[in-house]
Amino acid sequence: MSRYLFIPLVLVLSLGTCALGIWKGSFVAGAADAYGYVSEADLIAHGSLRVDQQFVRTLPWPFADWSFAPAGYRPALERGFIVPTYPAGVPILMALFQRAGGRHAVFYVVPLLGALCVFMTSVLGAAVHGRLTGLMAALLLAASPSFMTELMAPASDVAATAWWTVALVLTVRGGSLGALGAGAAVSAAVLTRPNLAPIAVMLGGFWIWRVVRGAGEGRSVLWQLALFAGAAVPGCLAVAAVNQYLYGSPFRFGYEPVDVLYQLANAGPNLDRYPRWLVQTETPFILLGLVAPFVAWGRRQRSTHFAVDRVVLLLSVAAVVWLSYLFYLPFGRDEWTYLRFLLPAYPPLLVLSVAVTIEALGFAIAQDRARTATAVVVCVALAGWLARTALERGALMARLVERRYVDVGRYIDVTLPSNGVFIAGVHAGSIRYYSGRLTLNYDRLQPRWLDDAVAELRSRGLHPFIAVEADEERLFRERFAEMNVLGRLDWPPAAERREPIPVRIYDPADRERMQRGERIETGTIPLVRRW
């Protein structure tokens, strides 16, 4: 494929990816991940990584500091503060955008990184096998249900994929600038998702392999290896410094301890789920890359372009990603969207799968143009199927579904008293972000304490409310109703948002008024058309 055709097509595909992310992205600090990253960016933009909550030190119920930590946060080492649990890579980028363009600008980070990821996938394919391979792999990535779904969310999955793909491309291309850039990309990737740091070892091993096999001057390659390592180390040191500051140890993260997250027993459930989800959403095509080393080995006498060492590097990167989650704590739901953890493996796997397809067509079709046309038809048809699957699985519904967080938060900000404290679950973070009100995370409140917690908050001059989605109400009652009258939620809500996902705000004071015979009117939470 001519570079004069390749470059414009890749640019159109990359810019189209960015435009789609901006057009259909949620742009909402919603549930745990989105709120966690966006609110952490807000903290960094204001020069802090801690939220002051000194009042929790005098509250009577157990683990009060935990109960006032929304999902994505945990109590700090010093009592009276909470700190974020998510890695700082994406929030740092978001904070830069916020300082430059305001609070809303944070939501442009993921679409831009999505465009970078698609572009670098095309470059990776071109470097490993050819421009046609690069273009088709980039198209398949852009159409992937997992990639398209995560493109709409202000989280770290697309960012981690982008940085590791950049590092992989620059490692394959080599040179002093490539080594320096690859190391810098590793730093950004480790800051974004530290558990994938072993990928850096695979990349460093590739530079060492160049020294061993005598590619170029030995001293020059050693210098490149030093540049790579020197640029990769700062990201690792930054992660260690942040961990020390927030959690008291360079090796402690905001999540559960390593021995809790990673166990051999987790391999069984994960082996059942991840391969099945992958084949269901990506088709078995993505697994063709596993035979790429044999294809490259068979071609080694005819061409050095599809080199075995590059193929092994790509597969080793994908293998590290898989192994990083093979023993990881399985999630309770059998939900395909957890494939987002494996996204950094998609670019190398797609590049190798397209390369194997083109090589296989080479045996069946002798004519170059016919072979190219067939490869394009196969990949475009597959991309169409992937895109349709993404649409059917709701990839472009994020803004419509997630807007409820904005609606509820803005309603509280404008309508409800400024001394309100909201007992909530999934809305515990978004209410803080959009209304500035305090929230108590009921998932972290012991079951017998609901009534007493409400009474205690009232005694301090605060006005407690309960904010739950329709699906949460059953769980809320199961948790609290046996030991708390307020846990029954047996009075009309003060306000309700009905479509598409109902959210209700209950005022415990209304229950008392209802018992006195007063009529309780339920207000309507309006839909926010723009935010």
Q: Which amino acid is at 292?
A: A
pLDDT tens figures, 418-439: 999 999 999 999 999 999 999 9
Range of the structural domain that residue 477 is part of: 397-531
232 shares its domain with 179: yes
The DSSP H or E segment spanning 52 is: strand 51-52
Chosen domain end from 377, 392, 407: 392
The most distant pair of C-alpha atoms in the chain lies apart, rounded to whole Å, by: 90
> Does 212 score more than 80 pLDDT?
no
Count of Cβ atoms closer than 10 Å to residue 9 Cβ? 16
The predicted-structure confidence for 75-127, as pLDDT tens digits, reads as follows: 999 999 999 999 999 999 999 999 999 999 999 999 999 999 999 999 999 99
How many C-beta atoms lie closer than 10 Å to residue 288's C-beta? Answer: 19
**Class of residue 255 by CB neighbours under 10 A (exposed 0-12, middle 13-18, buried 19+):** middle
**Which pLDDT band, with edges at 50, 70 and 90, does 300 fall under?**
low
401 and 350 within one domain: no
> So what's the pLDDT on residue 302?
54
- On whether residue 157 sits in a domain, the answer given is yes
- Whether residue 500 is preceded by a cis peptide bond, meaning omega within 30 degrees of 0, is yes
* Within-domain flag for 97: no
- Same-domain pairing of 126 and 113: yes
| E strand map for 381-508 | 420-424, 438-441, 463-469, 495-497, 503-506
Same domain, 332 and 448: no
- 285 burial via Cβ count (<10 Å: 0-12, 13-18, 19+): buried
**205 and 353 housed in the same domain:** yes
Is 77 inside any structural domain? no
| Residues 364-397 pLDDT 10s | 787 888 989 999 999 999 999 999 999 999 999 9
Strand order from edge to edge, sheet including 495-497: 438-441, 420-424, 463-469, 503-506, 495-497, 523-524
78 found inside a domain = no
Q: What single-letter DSSP state applies at residue 2?
A: -
Q: 28-37, 106-115, 180-189, 253-262 — which is least confidently predicted?
A: 253-262
395-405 pLDDT, tens digit each: 999 988 999 99
Instruction: From 346, 363, 392, give the residue that closes a domain.
Output: 392
Mean pLDDT of 515-520: 92
Let me know whether 263 and 291 are in one domain. yes
In percent, the amount of the chain with pLDDT more than 90 equals: 84
What DSSP string runs through 244-302? Answer: HHHHSSTT--SSS-HHHHB-GGGHHHHHHHHHHHHHHHH-GGGGGGGGHHHHHHHHTTT
Is the CB of residue 500 less than 8 Å from the CB of residue 398?
Answer: no
Q: Is residue 288 in a domain? A: yes
Q: Answer with the one of 342, 361, 392 that is the final residue of a domain.
A: 392
Question: Is residue 69 situated within a structural domain?
Answer: no
Please indicate, yes or no, if residue 283 is contained in any of the structural domains: yes
Based on the structure, what is the number of domains in the chain? 2
Q: How confident is the model at residue 219 (pLDDT cuts 50, 70, 90)?
A: confident
Are 342 and 412 in the same domain? Answer: no
